[in-house]
Amino acid sequence: MTSPWPSHLWVVRHGQSAGNVARDRAHAAGLGEIDLDIRDVDVPLSDLGHEQSEALGKWFANLPADQRPTVVLTSTYLRAQQTAKAIADAGGLARSDIAFCIDERLREREFGILDRLTSQGIEARYPEQAEARRRLGKFYHRPPGGESWCDVILRLRAALDTLSLHHRDQRVLIVGHQVVVLCLRYLLEGLTETEILAIDAEGDVANCGVTAYRQAEDGKLALVSYNFLAPLEREGAAVTTAPDAKVAAR
């Protein structure tokens, strides 16, 4: 059977970012806004994020060369590209000359007017949006100037078309964001809104957590692991699970 899919697919959330750290500080202090003075797209990895990314790269490097990624797709965001670079620098790719395919469709979810607000900040500044989100749920709620999960899923459908067109039977690594990991699960596994939100409710996707798929005998991609953390644990890198700064409202 001819399959349109890669032979192996890994979907990885970026390492801990400076935005994750700022978000934790804001919540601990009970603040309404997260203190970041740069665009979210330019938020870099934290020192721990670099350590996590290197640990993941070492894990990939310990795989046989014919089992490492041959294609790397990354979000346009700096923290995702830094994570991919750390994986490559640690020897985690099949070849050292693999060029990254940077794809804006893999970017973080846009939060519009709610960007960088904590749950307390949203309730205080935009109570009507907090109520709309409770009524509609995160899957369908689109804040002004932002995206719903459905909007993210729409652009990821197009990204998967590109994946099947250009990267069939290859070993593909995608480095993106928490919402990208979850929405790709929704698409690849044919999940329902209820099913993917239940997975989300169980806990956040860890920084550098690995979700892996392998092409099955029927040609479809079968889930092998979700939020796999052994690469970090083996290297003694701390595990972090906070949402990004711009997704402070869960």
CB 14 within 8 A of CB 41: no
Place of tokens 């806990």: 203
Element at 73 (helix H, strand E): strand 71-74
Q: In what order do the strands lie in the sheet with 171-176?
A: 100-102, 71-74, 171-176, 8-13, 210-215, 221-228
Residue 142 marked ligand-binding: no
- Mark out the alpha helices in 40-166 (DSSP H runs): 47-61, 78-89, 119-125, 127-136, 149-166
Exposure of 150 by Cβ count < 10 A (0-12 exposed, 13-18 middle, 19+ buried)? middle
**Rounded CA gap, 74 and 89, in Å?**
15
C-alpha dist (Å) from residue 69 to 48, 63, 125, 176, 210: 24, 10, 45, 15, 13
The amino acid present at 72, given as its one-letter code, is V
Residue 13 marked ligand-binding: no
> Backbone dihedral region of 30: left (phi > 0), alpha (psi from -120 to 50 degrees) or beta?
left
Q: What is the rounded end-to-end Cα distance, in angstroms, of the chain?
A: 42
Structure token digits, residue 48 = 């721990």
Residue 135 marked ligand-binding: yes
CB 235 within 8 A of CB 53: no
Supply the DSSP symbol for 95.
Answer: -
Annotated binding site: 79, 134-135
Instruction: Give the residue ranges of the annotated binding site for substrate.
Output: 79, 134-135
